[in-house]
Structure 1
Amino acid sequence: MHSTAEAPDQKMEYTAYSSDKYSIEDARADIEQSSINLEEEENSPIPEVAAIVSNKDDPTLPVMTFRYWIMAIVFSLILSFFNQFFWFRTNPMMISSMVIQLLSFPIGKAMARILPAGPLNPGPFSIKEHVLVSITANCAGGTAYAVDITIIQKVFYGEDFGFLANFLLILCTQMVGFGMAGVLRRYLVYPAAMVWPANLVQVALFNTLHKEEELAPGQWSRFKFFLVATFAMFLYSWIPGFLFPVLSSIAWICWIKPDNLVLSQLTGAGGLGIGTISLDWNTIVSFLGSPLIVPWWAQVNIALGFFLIAWVMVPIAYYTNLWDAKKFPILTPALFTRDGHTYDTQRVLTNNILDEKKYDAYGPLRISTFFALTYGIGFAGLASMITHTWLYHRHKLAAQWKQSRGHSEDIHHRLMQAYPEVPDWWYASLFVLMTVIGVITCEVWDYKLPWWGVLLAVAMSAFFALPVGLIQAVTNQQPGLNIITEYVIGYILPGRAIANVTFKTLGYISMAQALLFTVDLKLGHYMKIPPRALFWAQCMGTFIAGLVNLLTANWLLGSIDNICAEDHKTFNCPNARTFYSASVIWGAIAPDRMFGPTSIYNAINYFFLIGFVLPIPFYYLKKKFPNTMLDYVHIPVLLAATSMMPPARAYNYTNWLAVGFIFQFFARRYHPEWHLRFTYVLSAAFDSGTAFMVLVSFFIFTIRDAYMVEWWGTRYDLCPLEGSPMIAPPEQLQQ
């Protein structure tokens, strides 16, 4: 899971577990509904863990069974393919591993009934098998960050190092962090003080699923509800997704006078989206994930941050012509010349390295004012995370660090002694092997990153992994390293775009992957999964994901004409195009030229100071006025609100927040039993139904260049806005 304080090129999804308080209360309520009783005298010293995690274990339960291998491999293949496929789409989406968690339960039970009893079917489908299937799928569920390097190389830089080079880069960037997790487990997994609240809801859901549901007459089970909701969303998704696409972005205010540019900028889907309505689940969740699983307090902070940044700061900056704002579209990640034309990066590069003479002749790079502000907000968010953590969590972090150094054992750590631990040399060997692969890959192929650059990137990720992990284990907030890594290598090796993104991926994602593995190790610790089984499960899921991600990307790049073009109707690759823009800004042009003393964007650097100072007054105001609305103000989350813009559009946010209000405020407050029972299930069902529809539509229509007959409801130019990738001329809509 990526940090909420990231630069605009990040891959990020808001988590359901952003709040310790909220997630634990929800999980405890769900556990209490399930009537799980724990013995007080022999339990975790942490009350939240004692209330949710079972203090019993049965070491005889089967884990890596035939059923596990079949489901883990199949689900990993499916999830990694689907998520990489959707990553290219104009409205991308991610299918969460919660879908696999729900689907694998009835399938595992069915396999236990159908298969003949014996070694292949050792009794009932166990909770440990279920957990291991979900963890494997979770490792396979994300899209490998390094795939975007392959995409921008092929599409924007005109180079291709071949499948082997691409796969080795993906493999080392995804798995070098696993070696770090072997060290981190002593400090972030074993100690009782390291709670990782995000896992408590997962534990609650597993326990709830494996307890027989006591259903009232006529009451639906969770699984029946999931199937019906999935089928309903599958049928409905054909309307906005194929038959009537205008329903994806109903800019009804803009339609009043569509030729008015200011009205289009403020209310159009390609502008600030005021009043724009979306009736398409894919559009609503495409960049921010499902609003059904994000706690209300976090959504309030996201809403405040979005309104202040997108609807206050941006219009003021744009209409006062800050940084020549009116020469460019109001909201775009595209790159421009000083006079507002598209910036042709190839005109300033020689062998994909900046040529200073060509650059001086062609002129400086310009970006939209909004794009520049998003970087500034990213700077502020990173700095605010440091101050916020110090003010609110320093005593807790210090206390838990002291406890972790003593390896304080609780009942869960003692129960885990029944299983052989993974030897340190397994993790060490994997770490060394992946680092060596990274060095060889960058030396053999022309990534323009020397061997010492690979070692520096890995060293940075290793250095920050423990302190960032301590923060995340307590606060569920993960400060990202992509801003730091981009800055560092941008100054050390200016002019090298591919070297910049390669260094960033090695430095940023290695740490993020290390903590992703650590989160799952803690989940395995809570659920008493044998460590060696967990090791191989994580390795397998990660390997499958990297391979399938790359194969899927290569297939799409080779089979779809004009893919990743800004005006492509279905596959305009918004994330990859933003990643490309970042490679030019931080790599080719470099931070000194973009944000240095001679740049018009130099003032952006002051956002570091603003972010560092901003949490301080709120901290003291909360102390002076306790138990007020100020208690819910979380500056890092607020500043991270627009971290996905661009490529996300403003109307993605407004509709996401509206749906979140319905479920996380209204349903939770007025229908708490229904909310606890079905909200997460409904989210997974909607994701699944939409995903199936998109995939069926692709193989039946898109891949054969067949589209819906043109009519008013299929037009994308109802509210034209110059420079908007949402708008394409009618003759391009069938491309």
Structure 2
Amino acid sequence: MVSEHHAAGPSPASLPTPVASKKHFDIYDEKDYQQYDESPVIDLEELEKDSPIEEVRVTVSNRDDPSMPYNTFRMWFLGLLFTVIIAFVNQFFYLRQTTVTVGYSVVALISLPMGHFMARVLPIRRYRIPLLGWKFTLNPGPFSIKEHVLIGTMAACNSTTAYAVDIVILQKVFYHQTGTPFFGSVLLVLTTQITGFAMAGGIRRFLVRPAQMVWPQTLVTAALFRSLHASSITSNNDDEDGTGASTEKEQGGLGARRMSRTKYFLLVTLASFIYYWFPGFIFPTIGTISWICWLQPNNVILAQLTGAGGLGIGTIALDWTAISAYVQPLVTPWFAQVNILIGFITMAYILVPWTYYSNLWNAKQYPIISASLFQQDGSEYNVTEVLDKDSLLVDELYTAYGPLRMSVFFAIAYGIGFAALSATVVHTILYHGKDIVARWKITLQDKHDVHLRLMSAYPEVPDWWYGLLFATMFALSFVTCVVYDFMPWWALILALAIAIFFLLPVGIVQAITNQQPGLNIVTEYVIGTLLPGHPIANVTFKTYGYIVNVQALAFASDLKLGHYMKIPPRIMFLVQLVSSVIGCIVNLATAMWLINTRPNICTAEGYPFTCRSTKTFYSASVIWGAIGPAKVFGTEDGSLYSPVQYGFLIGALLPLVFWFLSNKVFRKTSWLKQVHWPVLLAATSNMPPAMPYFYSNGLLVGFIFAFLLRRYRYRWWSRYNYLTSAALDSGVALAGLIIFFALQSGGVQMPHWWGNPQPTGQDANTAIMDHCPSSWSSYNSAV
């Protein structure tokens, strides 16, 4: 709970009303423009110490300037420009064998000089619109950090492609259905993306406003923007105020000659950019150094245990994309990483070897780690052999062809996913139930946090805006599902009910730990049970249940960033909505263009457009939709995997047991309170496609930064930790774009040598890179 000393402070009425709260489009009087640099800065430091959260104190400014421009022509111009570019680029690369995602950091770096250039060259002349009573200028002053954050937010709304686009690709490429018109596909994509935005408004008082809801990933972004605008913002912990410089050396810190955040960020970005050319182009083998496997590369057991395509024990990854992909070691709190470590070791190093080498479910017939689907003899499972022309399951064909099989790792991962979901609900009730009830009672009257007090200077978005948006999206979703026959109307209601039910539990876990338990498994399970044999209905239900939840939390995360950076809520609402709508249309149009122009797309012959992620999506549609959970995880037609359903029960019991022990039996044992079962169980939810060595290397880096440096070099950690993460991401993203666009898209490839071996197959690519090909083999086929 928030400390009592944060309760004091000025009331909202005592805070000055920002200029931009007037009803206009960026109206600034000449006096406002002339005095922009001299405008008063609200400083609550005398009244409020700061945020009660340490990570926030060292990263986020506790000052605000409400007169700073934000709703400007240049913000909208650059924001919409990057919205279109990012939506196109990310969708284009999403379907390629090697993907590149362009997000916040790249847009922040590129848009900064463009914003400053526009501030120099645009006229400051004032324009009037008599009918509306508006007056505005194209150039209200220096390019501000708030404009910059809004531009980044518009790009961030499209940093991941619209999930529903995969449904359209499945229909047209994998299931050969051509009945849905383009307008129907547009409605599907829009409703699944925007409905989550409407839900985010409903949970903002629980997941955005409270100080305890940190959203660690937003701190990285906040550190990035503050470093790029270091000369225009100040606070008690900024570079420019000079506080603490004389005592840093005494406290084991950086000394008097500390480097500015801006210079540090640029140097680390440059180093990351230069280095990534080695794992990304010149020397890919250093991304997966399976040195133990090299001792006996033909020993199948050693390869499965130590190779990058197996459990990756001892594999060293010198590639930031692999280290940071799932753990985010510089961002995720250390207590969460400890939970991830325990869950990872239990899953990858204990359960999987034990079940695999004891040949549970005939495990040795298949690779130790794989997301592929198999027949009983280990050959690939061809689902078209059991479907009719309308892509519906034919029981007689399924019985004749044989039951579906999967790797033991894949099956156990589903069981742990079941456990993680039930654990999330129980954990939230036990550990956060009272706080949720209390917050529901006080709602907007909670003014304890300094950042919430600063944000009270701006008009809040009325709840009816979000309510009207949700009602509109629900109506359009109903039309989409019924008219275009994606799934029955009752399925839509059930899917949205699941998304809403899990919104707070999953959101609280993500806001505190930076880990997000997914709803994909439970949504697939529910609709697969109720409507088996319908793959398109299954993935549509999953999208409305799972992705609507994910989108709501993604928008909530952006709202938290706006909260930290003091962005007025109403303009944040506008930019998120507009950019999301435009991005959805661009995503879909790009995918349709590639489908219609690229021959053999989503096949090996269509390289580089092999649609790796979409194929995983397709496999899930086969397991849960075309065949159904009753035949895979039940007891019908030779199913073996029914025991994994006990995961639901186990996940519900574990938090209950530990809560009872820590609160009733061993109250003085502090480590029991740090056991976070949703994180511990969800640690391996991304494996596969994530490989175990991603986790082992990420957790090692996390131990260095989140534990050692924070404990023994706190000054350095507090100043540069989050900035380091942002800089490494920026350098990798910039290098990746140049490698793909300037070289590989033009057919320029690095010559093959030991450090860049010749691939011999799509699935064996990683195994070849680490010179340990047997790690991808099954035990029986290699023996």
Are residues 1:136 and 2:143 paired? no
Structure 1 residues 203-226: Cα deviation after superposition (integer angstroms, max 9, x where no partner): 677667442533888754333333
Structure 1 residues 240-279: Cα deviation after superposition (integer angstroms, max 9, x where no partner): 2222222222222222222222222111111111122222
Aligned to 2:675: 633
Judged with a 3 Å threshold, the aligned counterparts in structure 2 of structure 1 residues 640 and 182 are, in CA distance, closer, same or farther, namely: closer
Structure 1 residues not aligned, in runs of 5+? 1-18, 25-34
Alpha carbons 2:517, 2:679 under 8 Å: kept: no
The one-letter code matched in structure 2 to 1:38 is L
Aligned to 2:24: none
Are residues 1:550 and 2:588 paired? yes
Mapped partners of 2:365, 2:353: distance in 1: 14
Alpha carbons 2:288, 2:316 under 8 Å: kept: yes
Mapped partners of 1:221, 1:42: distance in 2: 27
The one-letter code matched in structure 1 to 2:744 is T
Aligned to 1:196: 213
Q: Pick from 175, 186, 199: which aligns with 1:180?
A: 199
The one-letter code matched in structure 1 to 2:83 is S
Matches within 5 A, 1:202-217: 209=230, 210-211=232-233, 213-214=239-240
Matches within 5 A, 1:607-646: 607-623=647-663, 624=666, 626=668, 629-646=671-688
Higher mean C-alpha deviation, range 497-506 or range 592-601: 592-601
Are residues 1:249 and 2:288 paired? yes
The one-letter code matched in structure 2 to 1:601 is Y
Alpha carbons 1:272, 1:310 under 8 Å: kept: yes
Mapped partners of 1:255, 1:723: distance in 2: 20
Mapped partners of 1:415, 1:663: distance in 2: 31
Matches within 5 A, 1:281-300: 281-285=320-324, 287-288=325-326, 290-300=328-338
Higher mean C-alpha deviation, range 684-693 or range 195-204: 195-204
| Deviation, structure 1 residue 297 | 2.2
Mapped partners of 2:657, 2:497: distance in 1: 35
| Deviation, structure 1 residue 131 | 3.5
Aligned to 1:331: 369
Are residues 1:439 and 2:439 paired? no
Matches within 5 A, 1:495-510: 495-510=533-548
Alpha carbons 2:51, 2:57 under 8 Å: kept: no
Q: Pick from 699, 702, 712: which aligns with 1:660?
A: 702
Mapped partners of 1:654, 1:93: distance in 2: 23
User: How many residues are aligned here?
Assistant: 694
Alpha carbons 2:272, 2:732 under 8 Å: kept: yes
Alpha carbons 2:425, 2:505 under 8 Å: kept: no
Q: Pick from 601, 621, 632: which aligns with 1:583?
A: 621
Matches within 5 A, 1:18-167: 38-39=44-45, 41=47, 58-88=65-95, 92=99, 94-98=101-105, 100=107, 108-109=115-116, 111-118=118-125, 119-160=137-178, 161=180, 163-167=182-186
Alpha carbons 1:387, 1:616 under 8 Å: kept: yes
Are residues 1:604 and 2:651 paired? no
Q: Pick from 218, 235, 244: which aligns with 2:274?
A: 235
Are residues 1:171 and 2:190 paired? yes
Two-structure CA RMSD over aligned residues (Å): 3.9
The one-letter code matched in structure 2 to 1:594 is V
Aligned to 2:15: none
| Deviation, structure 1 residue 298 | 1.9
Percent of residue pairs identical: 50
Higher mean C-alpha deviation, range 123-132 or range 559-568: 559-568
Mapped partners of 1:568, 1:278: distance in 2: 29
| Deviation, structure 1 residue 580 | 1.7
Q: TM-score, normalised by structure 1?
A: 0.83
Mapped partners of 1:278, 1:49: distance in 2: 28
State the SS of the aligned residue for 1:353: coil
Mapped partners of 2:714, 2:56: distance in 1: 23
Alpha carbons 1:716, 1:727 under 8 Å: kept: no
Alpha carbons 1:566, 1:725 under 8 Å: kept: no
Q: TM-score, normalised by structure 2?
A: 0.78
Alpha carbons 1:348, 1:356 under 8 Å: kept: yes
Structure number, greater radius of gyration: 2
Aligned to 1:7: none
Matches within 5 A, 1:503-518: 503-518=541-556
Alpha carbons 1:91, 1:283 under 8 Å: kept: no
Alpha carbons 1:86, 1:93 under 8 Å: kept: yes
Mapped partners of 2:43, 2:439: distance in 1: 27
Mapped partners of 1:560, 1:701: distance in 2: 20
Mapped partners of 1:246, 1:562: distance in 2: 29
Structure 2 residues not aligned, in runs of 5+? 7-40, 126-136, 246-255, 774-783
Higher mean C-alpha deviation, range 197-206 or range 604-613: 197-206
Matches within 5 A, 1:505-544: 505-525=543-563, 527-544=565-582
Matches within 5 A, 1:401-412: 401-404=440-443, 407-408=445-446
The one-letter code matched in structure 1 to 2:366 is F
Mapped partners of 1:155, 1:596: distance in 2: 30
Alpha carbons 1:38, 1:51 under 8 Å: kept: no
Judged with a 3 Å threshold, the aligned counterparts in structure 2 of structure 1 residues 115 and 676 are, in CA distance, closer, same or farther, namely: farther
The one-letter code matched in structure 2 to 1:692 is L
Mapped partners of 1:296, 1:516: distance in 2: 22
Mapped partners of 1:159, 1:51: distance in 2: 54
State the SS of the aligned residue for 1:712: coil
Are residues 1:693 and 2:732 paired? no
Mapped partners of 2:287, 2:599: distance in 1: 24
Mapped partners of 1:557, 1:590: distance in 2: 28
Aligned to 2:309: 270
Mapped partners of 2:436, 2:727: distance in 1: 38
Mapped partners of 2:604, 2:307: distance in 1: 18
Judged with a 3 Å threshold, the aligned counterparts in structure 2 of structure 1 residues 86 and 638 are, in CA distance, closer, same or farther, namely: farther
The one-letter code matched in structure 1 to 2:647 is F
The one-letter code matched in structure 2 to 1:316 is W
Judged with a 3 Å threshold, the aligned counterparts in structure 2 of structure 1 residues 153 and 353 are, in CA distance, closer, same or farther, namely: same
Aligned to 1:28: none
The one-letter code matched in structure 2 to 1:369 is V
Alpha carbons 1:88, 1:574 under 8 Å: kept: yes
The one-letter code matched in structure 2 to 1:66 is F
Aligned to 1:451: 489
The one-letter code matched in structure 2 to 1:311 is Y
Judged with a 3 Å threshold, the aligned counterparts in structure 2 of structure 1 residues 253 and 55 are, in CA distance, closer, same or farther, namely: closer
| Deviation, structure 1 residue 314 | 0.4
Alpha carbons 1:717, 1:727 under 8 Å: kept: no
| Deviation, structure 1 residue 685 | 2.4
| Deviation, structure 1 residue 531 | 3.4
State the SS of the aligned residue for 1:646: coil
The one-letter code matched in structure 1 to 2:82 is F
Higher mean C-alpha deviation, range 452-461 or range 495-504: 452-461
| Deviation, structure 1 residue 182 | 4.1
| Deviation, structure 1 residue 414 | 7.4
